[in-house]
Amino acid sequence: MKKKYKTKPGNRLNALVYYYKNKDAIRAKDNAFRADPKNKKTLQLRDKKIRDRPHNKVYQRNYWRNYRANEAAQVKIDARAKANEIKIPKGFKCDCGNLATDRHHTDYNKPYEIIFCCKKCHMILDKERRQKLK
């Protein structure tokens, strides 16, 4: 249900006019606030508040419900569950030199064929696989 706020019709417009008049100063102030490590906690809480809005929660619940019902996704879910059974050897290094934390599937139809890699390389590998499928 949408809550209706009583505001004067001109208020929103005035706020926009104010913003565009003082855009640079407002943005500089905001960037300074974000750059200060002291404000990290405040920003995290603000993000969490936005993320946990009721309509966002409903959206996410529906998203995952639909995802699980999707047959193509089921192959991925099974493959990931099987890959999670395989432990990453302790201290195993990725090709780039970082510690391996992820398991990458080159092909979801071969659930046990995985590559140990770091988070950064995993994103690159996933991008490559997506491009191959196109």
Contact positions vs Zn ion (CB under 5 A): 94, 96, 98, 118, 121
C-beta of 16 vs 124, nearer to Zn ion: 124
- Shortest separation between residue 130's beta carbon and Zn ion, angstroms: 18
- Shortest separation between residue 129's beta carbon and Zn ion, angstroms: 16
- Shortest separation between residue 116's beta carbon and Zn ion, angstroms: 10
C-beta of 111 vs 122, nearer to Zn ion: 122
| Type of residue numbered 68 | R
C-beta of 45 vs 99, nearer to Zn ion: 99
- Shortest separation between residue 106's beta carbon and Zn ion, angstroms: 15
Please write down the long-range contacts of 82-85, taking CB distance under 8 Å and 24 or more positions apart.
82/111, 82/112, 83/111, 83/112, 83/114
C-beta of 10 vs 91, nearer to Zn ion: 91
One-character DSSP codes across 22-45: SHHHHHHHHHHHHH-GGGHHHHHH
